[in-house]
């Protein structure tokens, strides 16, 4: 045998080659199984989805007059005989067959074929426009079958897409290599195969080994096995699937849009940017190895836009997931070797950012704020991850020119905070943008309404673009503006990309007590008063962290012309909120307001032109009123009766709602809010939601409740111990330890009007 070349040195032969190729075949088998199992799960969804789509198409076609068939054939089709025979709609023609139409006097083969072809064209066009709506309040056999089929794919999570993509690529590379390496199984086959064949086999064997080793290093065998197991798992009961659908309906609708081809218009989903830029963005493949969430099509495009254009503003309307798009861009860069990322945001959303990074990706989040910010910054500089800091803290951190770290991407949330170049926060951000290749600004404010503000922001990113942006671009309309500034700006609206409207998007807004908040909270804990603890976050309005975040949310909805309903259990909290807000504020609705007057308030709120705010006690607004005018719901505190919270949200998220309903629940870390949620989370989720969906729950809303004295007392005592309060002193803890029901023992009820 001749000496092997450099590429063949150490190539496996004989037994080692056989063992290697057996490993390769096992790996290929698991990869093929993933594709087969995924195809089976997709087929099951389509089998459930197609009848629903067919029904929607039939309904639409039944309303289209048969004369429209002439439009498709540009007037060449003669339909007089068809109409005289009783065919009055396109649907009737589409349901007929060639033989039936030929039986009509005066209809020949050509007319019958043309009529059927025209009806088919219209049906195809209609199918592209219809969208399945799933009504959780009226499930039937067909929608339950669809939800069950989707549940399997949703439960398997984003690993499915990752595994399918990886399996396809692996099979395409490894299969031909394994075939080419076959002769290396036996030394005699190599010896008599000729020099060129021998060289090809040995080179292929080396490549097979490299592919198998790389797959093992990436954990692909485990990934393929786990995904196949998830896709083959026995379907849960209809109840479990419906429960899951309520919790994450967006993921179900995203799959429906993908598999039915009924997603949003591509131009709208891509923000009406010019074709050249759109093509470049589409050509970038997003690496989701570090993501823990499935992206919708427009979200993937947004993340790729940020990566392809490098220095941009993502201006999607609120509710479309700007944060997760930013995290997807960071995760992609991390998969390609970047280690350090920096997020700058208002203090009110810092905790949310840290939580979202950890929940949506495998990236490490490090809050860099407060007294320990310099130590946290040093840790980030040393170990990497996503540093999350505030506008006010940024200027106190080491100068970006001296810190020795160049972030893979800088993300600036609520970017309008830096619109004034003279402010300290703007200068601090500018220092980092000048040192960072990739910068992503996030803002929900429509920039076409604020052209000068846009110019100010774009100077941080693409200074050469700023002089070419004129107020006339904004005056020309949103689409014209977006095309003009496309190199640096992407915005999509809910109505353009969420074809399954209305959906329900729920966001927990975690805030950290200010010092004054904490003082008020400690006083309530020391007094052992549960309900006072729940409203302590609003006791000092001038420094209330929750109130600051509420104002920010309302301001963003005002910019987008949306209506908001603010719920609280407490009338006192609603009065505080009302005094803190500007603009048109209706209410508050309360139990003490007569029913007729309550309806007048709701009618006035609905009739208001554009943005408006309605304040309501959750007991008064949770039943009997329809609040479809509101597409944003803010809950000032978590509710002690989950059914009460559900019923209140359902006032806005119901038949007649034409927009996605976004629910923001304001929560304080290390407080009664967190204790309450912990207790509720420990309960069996299926039991909770089954009770909520049952007839019993409608008449017994206390079925799942933390308002009974023992649980409230437990929360108070836990908080007293945690804060090392007067609970340690028996003389001062009488209130907290007294039995529920005694005078102001553990105050769990609050007055019906919420005045206390």
Q: For the structural domain made of 504-671, what CATH number should be given?
A: 3.40.50.300
Average pLDDT over every residue of 721-728: 63
DSSP class of 739: P
Which of 199, 192, 191, 194 minimizes the C-alpha distance to 9? 199
Q: Kindly report the backbone phi and psi dihedral angles of residue 614, in degrees, each rounded to the nearest multiple of 5, phi listed first.
A: -115, 125
DSSP class of 4: P
Q: What's the rounded Cα separation, in Å, for the pair 21 and 177?
A: 10
Which of 683, 668, 731, 389 minimizes the C-alpha distance to 533? 668
Reading the block at residue 49, the tokens are: 């989805």
Pick the CATH number of 264-497 from 3.20.20.70, 3.30.1330.10, 3.40.50.10810, 3.40.50.880: 3.40.50.10810
Judge whether residue 77 has pLDDT over 80.
no
Reading the block at residue 46, the tokens are: 């389509």
Beta bridge partners of 632: 564, 662
Handedness of CA 615, 619, 620, 622 (dihedral sign): positive
Query: pLDDT tens for residues 324-372?
Result: 999 999 999 999 999 999 999 988 788 889 989 998 999 999 999 989 9
Q: What's the rounded Cα separation, in Å, for the pair 537 and 294?
A: 35
Which pLDDT does position 367 carry in this prediction?
A: 95
DSSP class of 89: B
DSSP class of 398: P
Buried residues in 274-283 as b, exposed as e (16+ CB within 10 A): eeebbeebee
Res. 237 pLDDT band, cuts 50 70 90: low
In 218-265, which residue ranges form alpha helices assigned H by DSSP? Answer: 220-232, 238-247, 249-260
Give Rg (Cα) of the chain: 31
Instruction: Give the 3-state secondary structure of residue 555.
Output: helix
Which pLDDT does position 755 carry in this prediction?
A: 36
Q: Which residue has the tokens 């004989």?
A: 14
Query: pLDDT tens for residues 1-13?
Result: 444 455 455 677 7
The answer to whether 221 touches 30, Cβ cutoff 8 Å, is yes
Which pLDDT does position 740 carry in this prediction?
A: 32
Strand pairing report for 409-412 and 439-442 = parallel
> Does 401 or 750 have the greater pLDDT score?
401
Instruction: Give the 3-state secondary structure of residue 85.
Output: coil
Residue 222 burial (CB count, 10 A) = 11
> Does 472 or 203 have the greater pLDDT score?
203
389-to-259, 366, 392, 450 alpha-carbon distances in Å: 40, 9, 8, 27
CATH 3.40.50.300 residue spans of the chain: 504-671
CATH 3.40.50.10810 residue spans of the chain: 264-497
> Does 137 or 631 have the greater pLDDT score?
631
Q: What's the rounded Cα separation, in Å, for the pair 358 and 159?
A: 17
Which pLDDT does position 296 carry in this prediction?
A: 83
Beta bridge partners of 661: 504
DSSP letters spanning 372-414: THHHHHHHHHHH-EEEEEEHHHHTTSPPTTTSS---SEEEESS
Which of 300, 305, 295 minimizes the C-alpha distance to 438? 305
Reading the block at residue 409, the tokens are: 């991407």
Handedness of CA 118, 124, 130, 136 (dihedral sign): positive
Q: Which residue has the tokens 């080692």?
A: 16
Query: pLDDT tens for residues 733-752?
Result: 333 333 333 323 344 444 33
Cβ within 8 Å of residue 357, ≥6 positions away = 327, 330, 343, 363, 365, 386, 388
- Let me know if 246 is exposed, middle or buried by CB neighbors in 10 A (0-12, 13-18, 19+): middle
Which of 323, 372, 749, 307 minimizes the C-alpha distance to 570? 749
Query: pLDDT tens for residues 136-190?
Result: 767 889 999 999 999 999 988 888 988 999 999 999 999 999 998 888 776 656 6
Which pLDDT does position 701 carry in this prediction?
A: 40
Res. 687 pLDDT band, cuts 50 70 90: very low
Which of 479, 483, 484 minimizes the C-alpha distance to 468? 484
Name the most confidently modeled range: 478-482, 541-545, 729-733.
541-545
DSSP letters spanning 288-337: -TTB-SPPPHHHHHHHHHHHHHSEEEE-PPTTS-HHHHHHHHHHHHHHTT
The 3-class SS string of 502-566 reads CCEEEEEEEECCCHHHHHHHHHHHHHCCHHHHHHHHHCCHHHCHHHHHHHHHHHHHHHCCCEEEE
Q: What's the rounded Cα separation, in Å, for the pair 671 and 189?
A: 74
Query: pLDDT tens for residues 540-568?
Result: 999 999 999 999 999 999 988 889 999 99
Arithmetic mean of pLDDT over the chain? 82
Which pLDDT does position 702 carry in this prediction?
A: 41
Q: What's the rounded Cα separation, in Å, for the pair 734 and 480?
A: 68
The answer to whether 496 touches 268, Cβ cutoff 8 Å, is yes
Q: Which residue has the tokens 């950290």?
A: 512
Judge whether residue 518 has pLDDT over 80.
yes
Q: Of 61-75, 295-309, 406-420, where does mean pLDDT reach its minimum?
A: 61-75
The 3-class SS string of 86-135 reads CCCEHHHHHHCCHHHHHCCCCCCHHHHHHHHHHHHHHHHHHHHHCCCCCC
Res. 58 pLDDT band, cuts 50 70 90: very high
End-to-end CA distance of the chain: 95
Angle between helices 159-180 and 141-156 (to 10 degrees): 60
Q: What's the rounded Cα separation, in Å, for the pair 51 and 322?
A: 35
Average pLDDT over every residue of 585-591: 88
The answer to whether 734 touches 728, Cβ cutoff 8 Å, is no
Instruction: Give the 3-state secondary structure of residue 255.
Output: helix
Beta bridge partners of 633: 565, 663
């Amino acid at each position: 045998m001749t000496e092997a070349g450099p590429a063949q040195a150490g190539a496996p032969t004989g037994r080692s080659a056989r063992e290697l190729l057996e490993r390769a075949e096992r790996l290929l088998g698991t990869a093929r199984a993933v594709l087969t199992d995924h195809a089976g799960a997709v087929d099951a969804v389509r089998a459930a989805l197609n009848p629903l789509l067919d029904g929607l198409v039939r309904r639409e076609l039944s309303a289209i007059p048969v004369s429209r068939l002439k439009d498709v054939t540009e007037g060449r089709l003669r339909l007089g005989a068809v109409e005289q025979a009783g065919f009055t709609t396109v649907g009737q023609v589409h349901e007929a067959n060639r033989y039936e139409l030929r039986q009509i006097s005066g209809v020949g083969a050509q007319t019958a074929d043309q009529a059927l072809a025209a009806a088919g064209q219209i049906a195809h066009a209609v199918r592209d426009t219809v969208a399945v709506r799933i009504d959780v309040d009226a499930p039937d056999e067909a929608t339950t079958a669809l939800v069950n089929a989707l549940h399997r794919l949703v439960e398997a999570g984003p690993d499915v897409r990752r595994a399918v993509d990886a399996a396809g690529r692996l099979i395409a590379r490894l299969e031909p290599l394994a075939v080419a390496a076959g002769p290396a199984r036996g030394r005699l086959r190599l010896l008599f195969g000729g020099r060129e064949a021998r060289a090809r086999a040995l080179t292929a064997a080396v490549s097979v080994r490299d592919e198998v080793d790389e797959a093992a290093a990436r954990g692909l065998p485990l990934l393929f096995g786990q995904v196949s197991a998830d896709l083959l798992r026995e379907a849960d009961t209809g109840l479990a699937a419906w429960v899951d659908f309520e919790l994450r309906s967006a993921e179900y609708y995203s799959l429906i849009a993908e598999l039915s081809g009924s997603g949003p218009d591509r131009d709208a989903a891509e923000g009406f940017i010019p074709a050249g830029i759109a093509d470049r963005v589409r050509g970038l493949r997003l690496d989701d190895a570090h993501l823990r969430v499935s992206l919708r099509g427009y979200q993937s495009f947004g993340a790729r836009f940020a990566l392809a254009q490098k220095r941009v503003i993502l201006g999607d309307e609120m509710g479309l997931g700007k944060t997760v798009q930013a995290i997807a861009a960071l995760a992609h860069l991390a998969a390609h070797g970047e280690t350090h990322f920096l997020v700058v945001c208002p203090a009110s959303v810092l905790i949310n950012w840290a939580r979202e990074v950890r929940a949506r990706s495998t990236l490490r989040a490090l809050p860099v704020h407060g007294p320990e910010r310099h130590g946290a910054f040093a840790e980030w500089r040393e170990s990497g991850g996503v540093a999350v800091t505030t506008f006010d803290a940024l200027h106190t951190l080491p100068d970006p020119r001296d810190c020795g770290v160049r972030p893979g991407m800088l993300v600036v949330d609520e970017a309008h905070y830096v619109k004034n170049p003279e402010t300290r926060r703007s200068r601090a951000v500018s220092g980092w943008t000048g040192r960072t290749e990739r910068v992503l600004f996030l803002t929900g404010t429509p920039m076409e309404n604020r052209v000068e503000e846009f110019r100010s922001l774009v100077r941080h990113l693409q200074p050469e673009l700023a002089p070419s942006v004129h107020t006339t671009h904004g005056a020309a309309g949103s689409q014209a503006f977006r095309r003009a500034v496309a190199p640096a700006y992407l915005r999509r609206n809910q109505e353009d990309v969420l074809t399954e409207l209305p959906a329900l998007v729920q966001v927990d807004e975690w805030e950290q007590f200010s010092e004054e908040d904490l003082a008020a909270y400690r006083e309530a804990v020391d007094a052992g008063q549960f309900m006072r603890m729940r409203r302590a976050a609003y006791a000092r309005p001038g420094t209330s962290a929750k109130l600051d975040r509420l104002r920010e949310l309302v301001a963003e909805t005002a910019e987008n012309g949306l209506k908001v309903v603010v719920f609280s259990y407490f009338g006192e909290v609603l009065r505080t909120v009302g005094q803190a807000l500007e603009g048109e504020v209706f209410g508050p609705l309360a139990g003490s307001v007569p029913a007729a007057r309550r309806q007048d308030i709701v009618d006035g709120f609905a009739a208001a032109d554009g943005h408006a705010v309605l304040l309501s006690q959750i007991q008064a607004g949770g039943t009997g009123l329809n609040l479809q005018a509101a597409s944003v719901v803010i809950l000032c505190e978590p509710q002690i009766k989950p059914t009460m919270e559900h019923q209140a949200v359902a006032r806005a998220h119901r038949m007649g709602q034409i927009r996605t309903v976004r629910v923001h629940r304001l929560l304080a870390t290390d407080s009664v809010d967190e204790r309450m949620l912990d207790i509720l989370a420990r309960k069996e989720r299926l039991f909770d939601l089954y009770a909520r969906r049952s007839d019993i729950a409608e008449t017994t809303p206390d079925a799942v409740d933390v308002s009974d004295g023992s649980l409230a007392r437990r929360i108070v005592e836990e908080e007293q111990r945690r804060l090392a309060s007067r609970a340690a002193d028996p003389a001062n803890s009488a209130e907290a330890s007294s039995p529920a029901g005694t005078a102001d023992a553990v105050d769990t009820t609050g007055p019906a009007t919420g005045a206390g």
